[in-house]
Amino acid sequence: MSDKPIDKASLLKNLMDNMADSIYFKDLKSRFIMVNRTLAEAWGYSSPEELVGKSDFDSFRQADAQQMYEDEKSIIKSGKPVIGIEEETNWKDGHVAWSSTSKMPLYDLEGNIAGTFGVSRNITDHKIAQIRAMNYAKEMSAIKEEMEEDLHMAGELQKTFFPRSYPVFPAGVDSEESCVDFLHRFEPCSDISVTGDYCSVSRLSDTEAGIFLCDIRSIGVRAALGTALIRGIVQEISSLRLDPGAYLSRLNERLLPLLRASGNLLDITACYLVVNLTSGEVRFASAGHPSPICFPKAGDVHYLVDATGFCDPALAVQSDVTYRTVKCQVAPGDAVILFTDGLCCVKNSRGEPFGGERLLEAARCLNREPLDEIFQGLKNSAKAFIGGGAFTDDICLVGFRLRHLLTSS
């Protein structure tokens, strides 16, 4: 170690020899007076002295070199530095580099501007990564926008899956004269247009009607896949539509291998009800779906079937399932409402579900009301239970009221 003072020339030499950034000094014509070794090596020279007297025009393409020259002329004229500018430089050999540069006026001993000097840091790798990230973000944004457009289109298409009109009995009469009144309502839980609820109301014969309801616990593309598959399959198996149990069994048989092959296993519940309008007989089967609620004209509101003794598995869970058909009876004036579990599974701030018992109590207060008011009253009761917040799952309700039995002509 030495206590001898270090002269200023040695300080500058240490800085120039050891600085990882490029350092350079230029005269009034932007020719190099001095550069450090880092700059010389970066520019392909064996020593800093080889760059003395040269300018940016010797290494860079004309347009880039001219821009650097104009920047330095402005500094010389105004005396104002430029700090931390990012420069893209195109070299004469074709490669492109990026640098973060600060340039300042260079003063002589009398205080006059004698040129410029600057410090540049190579940020090419960082800039390329940044550009790639920006391009990736743009690509992802474009893909997201395209997907949103596709989902919107799929959502609009999916709306056509829901009933637009209902069958009348006997055929050809006005809806007010039909012996049965059908209705459905759907309320999505979010702005995502593609959901997992689907229902249909069909004429099965001159005397029977069928109501199908399914609930796919998913949204977006997965929900669209599920509803499209189910809708296609139920049309294929229409020959079984008079037997609810056989209908769901065949639906499960067709659906399970398709979902397994695609790797898109979904949580799907469904139920299917057939009503005979001449006798009032109701045939019903469920694949893990909540029981419908019966609103009798005479008697207490109740679940159509006892859930404790009737719990067949959801769809696409296991193969070789034989779904059971149960038979019930409705009378003129009775109504039956099917619903998805978004209605009863909604939870309050304490995490308590609205549940089947609370739903049934709400239903008892709505007996003999019109179908539309029953639907709205059930939703209002569930919403009040959760403090007026939004539902966390889609809600679909569909049902019928038997006005009178169909008489043979």
Tell me the per-residue pLDDT of 150-174, one tens digit each, with 9 for 90 and over.
Answer: 666 666 666 666 888 999 999 999 9
Alpha-carbon gap, residue 57 to 62, rounded angstroms: 6
Q: What is the pLDDT of residues 306-355, one digit of tens each?
A: 765 567 899 988 888 999 999 999 999 999 999 998 888 888 888 899 99
pLDDT of residue 12: 77
CATH 1.10.1740.10 for domain 8-122 = no
Tell me: pLDDT of 213 over 80.
Answer: yes
Share of the chain above pLDDT 70, in %: 89
- What's the average model confidence in pLDDT over 241-250? 96
Tell me: pLDDT of 262 over 90.
Answer: no
How would residue 288 be classed by pLDDT, with cut points 50, 70 and 90?
A: very high
pLDDT of residue 179: 97
Alpha-carbon gap, residue 262 to 236, rounded angstroms: 20
Task: Report whether 316 contacts 266 (CB < 8 A).
Answer: yes
Alpha-carbon gap, residue 169 to 115, rounded angstroms: 98
How would residue 1 be classed by pLDDT, with cut points 50, 70 and 90?
A: low
Quickly name the fold that domain 164-402 has: Phosphatase 2c; domain 1 (3.60.40)
Task: Report whether 327 contacts 341 (CB < 8 A).
Answer: no
pLDDT of residue 9: 72
pLDDT of residue 17: 78
Sign of the dihedral through C-alpha 193, 198, 202, 208: negative
pLDDT of residue 154: 60
Tell me: pLDDT of 375 over 70.
Answer: yes
Calculate the average pLDDT of the chain.
Answer: 88
pLDDT of residue 309: 57
Q: What is the pLDDT of residues 56-114, one digit of tens each?
A: 999 999 999 999 999 999 999 999 999 998 888 888 888 888 899 999 999 998 999 99
Tell me: pLDDT of 192 over 70.
Answer: no
Q: What is the pLDDT of residues 9-62, one digit of tens each?
A: 777 778 887 888 999 999 999 999 999 999 999 899 999 999 999 999 999 999
pLDDT of residue 120: 92
Delimit the domains of the chain by residue range. Answer: 8-122, 127-160, 164-402
* Pairing mode, strands 180-187 and 395-402: antiparallel
**Cis peptide leading into residue 292 (ω within 30°):** no
Please state, in angstroms and as integers, the Cα–Cα distance from residue 303 to each residue in 83, 119, 183, 334, 352, following that order.
77, 81, 19, 13, 21
pTM reported for the whole predicted model: 0.65
Alpha-carbon gap, residue 354 to 332, rounded angstroms: 31
How would residue 390 be classed by pLDDT, with cut points 50, 70 and 90?
A: confident
pLDDT of residue 145: 75
Q: Taking Cα atoms as reference points, which of 203, 313, 211 lies closest to residue 255?
A: 313
Helix H, strand E, coil C: the string for the chain is CCCCCCCHHHHHHHHHHHCCCEEEEECCCCCEEEECHHHHHHCCCCCHHHHCCCCHHHCECHHHHHHHHHHHHHHHHHCCCEEEEEEEEEECCCCEEEEEEEEEEEECCCCCEEEEEEEEEECHHHHHHHHHHHHHHHHHHHHHHHHHHHHHHHHHHHHCCCCCCCCCCCCCCCHHHCCEEEEEEEECCCCCCCCCEEEEEEECCCCEEEEEEEEECCCHHHHHHHHHHHHHHHHHCHHHCCCHHHHHHHHHHHHHHHHHHHCCCCCEEEEEEEEECCCCEEEEEEEECCCCEEECCCCCCEECCCHHHCCCCCECCCCCCCCCCEEEECCCCCEEEEECCCCCCCECCCCCECHHHHHHHHHHCCCCCCHHHHHHHHHHHHHHHCCCCCCCCCEEEEEEEECCCCCCC
- What's the average model confidence in pLDDT over 247-259? 91
pLDDT of residue 388: 76
